[in-house]
Amino acid sequence: MTTDQLTFAQKAASDSFGSDYWHTRGWGFGVSIVTRRDDVSAVPGRFGWDGGYGTSWASDPVEDTVAILMTQRAGFPGTYATYVDFWTSAYQAIDE
């Protein structure tokens, strides 16, 4: 279940991740699903988990890639520079 399983009504009723979160994300079987591109690393089909203390992992079946970021920084991972730099670098390292 790596596809979005939430309905529009369920997304509309949830504001726990911020107002823009559900525009590009969904929820599969225990993992976040990227449904629409919104930055360098958020490509459709990517799925994974971002933890509250800076940890992040994602699998990208299109690129056949798995990446893990382990930090100890409180706050949602997408809001600090280390997170953005890590995922930007991970995708830049892919040699096509």
Contact 77, 86 (CB under 8 A): no
State the Cα–Cα distance between residues 89 and 96, nearest whole angstrom. Answer: 14
Q: What is the pLDDT of residue 77?
A: 58
| Residue 46: both structure tokens together | 């990517």
If we measure between CA atoms, which residue out of 55, 49, 58 comes closest to residue 91?
Answer: 58
CA atoms within 13 A on the CB side of 52: 1
pLDDT digits (tens, 9 = 90+) for 22-34: 888 888 888 988 8
Per the model's pLDDT, the better-predicted residue between 53 and 5 turns out to be 5
DSSP 32-88: EEE-S--SSS--TT-EEEE-TBS-EEEEETTTTEEEEE-----B-GGGSHHHHHHHH
Tens digit of each residue's pLDDT (9 = 90 or more) over 54-89: 788 999 998 899 999 998 877 665 567 888 888 888
Quickly tell me which residue has 């930007």 as its tokens: 88
pLDDT of residue 66: 94
